[in-house]
Amino acid sequence: MILTDRVSRIEGSVALAITTRASELRRAGVDIINLSVGEPDFPTPDHIIAAAKQAMDDGYTRYTPGAGLPELREAVTVKLLRDNHIRLVPEQVIVSNGSKHSLFNACLTLFDRGDEVIIFVPYWQPFSDVVKLAHATPVFAGTDPERQFEPVFQDLEACITPRTKGIIMNSPSNPTGGVWSQEATEYMIELAREHDLWLLSDECYEALAYDAPSVSPASLAPEYEKILTFQSCSKTYAMTGWRIGYMAGPVEVVEAMTKIQGQSASCPNSVSQMAAITALTGDQSVVKEFREAFKKRRDLMIEQLSQIPGLSCRNPGGAFFVFLNVSGLFGKATQGYHLSSAKDVTEYLLHGVHVATVNGEGFGDQEHIRLSYAVSEDNIKAATDRIAHAVALLN
Ligand SMILES: Cc1ncc(COP(=O)(O)O)c(C=O)c1O
């Protein structure tokens, strides 16, 4: 079958492929501990579910305006001011079916064939695929594992050419968990301003920063008009399946994105939008509870992993991922397994001790694997014990 060039250019989701394999093995009766997950294991809080039920009873079952309900766009501005010190008007907000959908619309709006867009390695895989879907070219810049995977600024400056149109940043980061300092964020803004670049800031995990708060670039440079802020209800309120995310930025970009969204999804889901209003403006104590639970789990996972020889990682400041350097295991072997790449390590852990993790290749990295701690403390203990056992068997 002949399909488009567009399809063959993109890679598809490595993490999803692992999650699918892990659930197949589980269905076959294997006792898998799945550390490949990219979503909170908590249920959506009751008051948000109640708001959705009420919305259905109240007849919110029809198409909404393409950019989202005016009340929700307003609620987003309230939230952005309260939590992120970003002051905007509702016309500067578009709500989409998840922030990934907003990102897709934004890339189609801002980038064209021949444009270059800078992405930091290790990167969340959709950044590179979505840029390619816009017919632009991703250009990869290095980061420093010792400094929360902040950009290596010399590298970054060398990546900028006359074709560079934008930069995508993501702090707290998937897959590294790194949280950039305010200084690093300020430097990004300076660079964007100097070269007149769009700065797309993916803040999907902004509520999950444990040691220092995550800083939104738009809060530091309200006068720079080329900053786009992407946030989501998915991780902050345990609402991944509800599909509500949003972008806040210049009105002209919002209007163009609305045009694109209108010809694909039409509008975001009506019931979910009503639930999102309650999530964003209702009781925020759940956000703190989730954050505290994840922080405890992060500390536990780091403590457990730090005792295993051959593995190394820094303390990730946010999200719910540990990006573990496994290069110390390369060259080792046991029971028919020969480890020479991060992929070999994930295969060994999956089949040898039934722990599902994601290898770094899909994130543009060769030495790390991603472990999610969006699982119970018991599972973190059991999984890290299994990993320790697997490492002890290697020669
Ligand atoms: C870095 C990052 N950005 C955005 C998203 C998308 O979130 P959603 O589309 O559910 O809002 C994810 C989800 O995994 C993510 O990891």
pLDDT tens-place string over residues 246-263: 999 999 999 999 999 999
CATH superfamily of 5-43+286-392: Aspartate Aminotransferase, domain 1 (3.90.1150.10)
Query: What is the Å distance from ligand 1's center to 32 Cα?
Result: 24
Query: What residue spans define the domains of the chain?
Result: 5-43+286-392, 46-283
Q: How far apart are CA 360 and CA 354, in angstroms?
A: 18
Provide Rg for the chain, Cα atoms.
Answer: 21
Nearest atom in ligand 1 to the alpha carbon of residue 243 is: 10
Contacts of 299 by beta carbon, 8 Å cutoff, 6+ apart: none
Ligand 1 pocket residue status of 232, Cβ below 6 Å: yes
Query: What is the Å distance from ligand 1's center to 243 Cα?
Result: 10
At 154 the pLDDT is 87
Nearest atom in ligand 1 to the alpha carbon of residue 38 is: 14
At 12 the pLDDT is 81
Cis omega (within 30 of 0) for bond into 172: yes
Ligand 1 pocket residue status of 176, Cβ below 6 Å: no
Write down the CATH number for the domain with range 46-283. Answer: 3.40.640.10
Query: What is the Å distance from ligand 1's center to 156 Cα?
Result: 24
Q: How far apart are CA 374 and CA 183, in angstroms?
A: 29
At 208 the pLDDT is 98
Which among 270, 211, 263 has a CA at the least distance from the CA of 59? 270
Residue 89 has which token pair? 């008007």
Q: How far apart are CA 179 and CA 170, in angstroms?
A: 9
Q: How far apart are CA 137 and CA 319, in angstroms?
A: 27
Q: How far apart are CA 233 and CA 95, in angstroms?
A: 11
At 155 the pLDDT is 87
- Residue pLDDT tens, the chain, 395 long: 889 989 998 888 888 888 888 889 999 999 999 999 889 999 999 999 999 999 999 999 999 999 999 999 999 999 999 999 999 999 999 999 999 999 999 999 999 999 999 999 999 999 999 999 999 999 999 999 999 999 998 889 999 999 999 999 999 999 999 999 999 999 999 999 999 999 999 999 999 999 999 999 999 999 999 999 999 999 999 999 999 999 999 999 999 999 999 999 999 999 999 999 999 999 999 999 999 999 999 999 999 999 999 999 989 999 999 999 999 999 999 989 999 999 999 999 999 999 999 999 989 999 999 999 999 999 999 999 999 999 999 99
For residue 71, the tally of other CB atoms under 10 A from its CB is 15
Q: What is the dihedral of CA 217, 220, 225, 229, to 10 degrees?
A: 30
Q: How far apart are CA 79 and CA 203, in angstroms?
A: 13
For residue 91, the tally of other CB atoms under 10 A from its CB is 14
- Length of the chain, please? 395
Predicted TM-score (pTM) above 0.75: yes
At 11 the pLDDT is 85
* Burial of 288: CB neighbours in 10 Å, binned 0-12, 13-18, 19+: exposed
Which among 25, 100, 54 has a CA at the least distance from the CA of 352? 25
At 217 the pLDDT is 98
Task: Return the best residue to mutate from 14, 119, 124 for the ligand 1 pocket (most ligand atoms within 8 A of CB).
Answer: 124
At 58 the pLDDT is 98
Question: Are 204 and 232 within 8 A, CB to CB?
Answer: yes
Ligand 1 pocket residue status of 202, Cβ below 6 Å: yes
Report the amino acid identity of residue 193. Answer: R
Tell me the CA distances in angstroms from 311 to 55, 57, 295, 325, one per residue in order: 49, 53, 21, 6
Which among 190, 220, 200 has a CA at the least distance from the CA of 85? 220
Ligand 1 pocket residue status of 240, Cβ below 6 Å: yes
Ligand 1 pocket residue status of 226, Cβ below 6 Å: no
pLDDT tens readout for residues 190-204: 999 999 999 999 999
Query: What is the Å distance from ligand 1's center to 338 Cα?
Result: 34
Ligand 1 pocket residue status of 217, Cβ below 6 Å: no
Q: Whose CA is nearest to atom 8 of ligand 1?
A: 98
Contacts of 215 by beta carbon, 8 Å cutoff, 6+ apart: 171, 180, 181, 182, 185
